[in-house]
Amino acid sequence: MKHGNLAFVCTLLLSAPVLLHGAAKPHAVALGAARHELYSMEGDPAGARKDETHLDVRPLVVDGKVKEWTTGEAHLVTDRSFTVRRAVRLNDSLPSDKKQQWVWQRGPWLLVDRSTGKVTALHLPEFDPGVSQVEWFRDYAAYCGLSTSRKQLLAVVAQIAARRPMLRRKLSAWNDATPVSPACAAPVWQRAPLGVSFQATGAAAATNFSLVGASAVLVEDDP
């Protein structure tokens, strides 16, 4: 083989990984139009409010296919990732029912990567569908949660990809027999210095917490 041909072959082999990487198909990720669905405490005892009769749900479409159903507003975490809450369509048919029946329920929060098309369910600690209303800031989720014993209302700050909550403090006692709705006001974030305040329903004043030395731990996969 001539030196010129050998050099051409070597150049082609060395550039092959780059060509293959460049040929990767981009993913198309979008939230579709909302639709109005019947919704009630009978169908979703833990997640619905007493006055709710409908739930707006939107499809999460990845590469032209419906990947999940979602509800509520999405939160942009980075320039390529966002969070949104899943809406679950659950089979509510009894064995004796002649016709299938379905109900909608509020599900867990999802992390969606627009570059890879990956959808991940987030397992937020002490999150309770009937109590927790998440307020997002950066990759932090602030909400009121319930302890494992369901006897304490907690102030919780969870961080995407972190193993433990950044904050877990008792706000007040909790009794499932006489629940309070809503359990607390929406948490209020502060940027500098980084902090968040919680106020349980009936509390005289809000409780403020500082978050020191916190930075993003979210690792996004290469597309």
Residue 219 lies in a domain: no
Residue 221 lies in a domain: no
The residue from 93, 122, 151 where one domain ends is 122
CA–CA dist 87, 56 (Å, integer): 9
- What pLDDT score does 223 carry? 73
Write out residues in the chain with pLDDT < 70, as ranges: 1-24, 213
**Cα distances (angstroms) measured from residue 41 to each of 94, 135, 208:** 18, 23, 33
Domain range spanning residue 68? 26-122
Bond before 182 cis per omega within 30 degrees? yes
The residue from 122, 143, 171 where one domain ends is 122
- What pLDDT score does 220 carry? 76
CA–CA dist 99, 114 (Å, integer): 38
- What pLDDT score does 1 carry? 52
Residue 54 lies in a domain: yes
Residue 47 lies in a domain: yes
Residue 167 lies in a domain: yes
Residue 145 lies in a domain: yes
The residue from 107, 122, 137 where one domain ends is 122
Please count the structural domains in the chain.
Answer: 2
On whether both 159 and 132 belong to a single domain, the answer is yes
Instruction: Specify the pTM.
Output: 0.83
CA angle at 164 for the pair 159 and 167, rounded to the nearest 5°: 70
pLDDT for 190-207, tens place per residue?
A: 998 899 999 999 999 999
On whether both 35 and 115 belong to a single domain, the answer is yes
- What pLDDT score does 8 carry? 43
On whether both 135 and 190 belong to a single domain, the answer is yes
On whether both 106 and 66 belong to a single domain, the answer is yes
On whether both 97 and 116 belong to a single domain, the answer is yes
Residue 202 lies in a domain: yes
On whether both 144 and 104 belong to a single domain, the answer is no
Please enumerate in sequence order all residues whose Cβ is within 8 A of that of 170, keeping only pairs 6 or more positions apart, or say none.
147, 152, 153, 154, 155
Residue 96 lies in a domain: yes
- What pLDDT score does 27 carry? 87
On whether both 173 and 193 belong to a single domain, the answer is yes
CA atoms 30, 36, 38, 40: torsion sign:
positive
On whether both 188 and 143 belong to a single domain, the answer is yes
On whether both 111 and 189 belong to a single domain, the answer is no
